[in-house]
Amino acid sequence: MKKLLFLVLLAFVLSSCSGIKDAVTNAERLQWKLGSVTGMSVAGINIAKISGFNNISPLDILKITNVFSTGKLPANFTLNLLAKNPEGSGGSPNSSDAIRALNWRLLIDNVETITGDINSPITIPGVGQTATIPLNMSVDLLQFFNNQGLQNLVGLALGIGGANGSPARLSLKIKPTVDTFLGPFTYPGEITVIDREFRGRN
């Protein structure tokens, strides 16, 4: 009976270790890319469906101007980070939550702005799959671009998340932490994530 119990326990441990190994392998294979920007607002005014500064209503311009006069111009949006586990040898078809945390730095026009982190498990897609990780951003544009006027700053926000906007002016520096046999491990260095292509650790 003891021998049977030992064999069952051993099989369970080996199975668990194999699962962790597969999850870590998937994490190492991941390639990252910036996806869409949604929900863009400036000074509390939703501009996600607006194509240009002149298309903003006079009342909303007045509200934005009033906030700007206080020395602030907050922009809020969601940046969708894409994590792709490419086709090819290695890895597992099974998704997992082996990424324990993700630190990030946001750059706008190559200017470093805010930083943040995700301290809850992130799903790693299996081979051939892509996962979307929404990151909620809140940036005071005037703090980082105080040499520009109101119209230019609103134009910057529109260029990122307006009706004709794109994440091309954004980049992320990310540093994932994964679970391993020996505990959490944070990869050295950072991965620069852009919208034009998927990029991995190498």
Q: Average pLDDT for residues 152-174, to the nearest whole number?
A: 97
15, pLDDT greater than 70: no
pLDDT at 26: 76
Q: Is the dihedral of CA 39, 40, 46, 47 positive or negative?
A: negative
What average pLDDT does the segment 133-156 reach? Answer: 97
What are the tens digits of pLDDT across the range 67-87? 999 999 999 999 999 999 998
Rounded CA gap, 30 and 123, in Å? 11
- pTM (2 d.p.): 0.85
pLDDT in tens, 51-65: 999 999 999 999 999
* Domain range list for the chain: 2-193
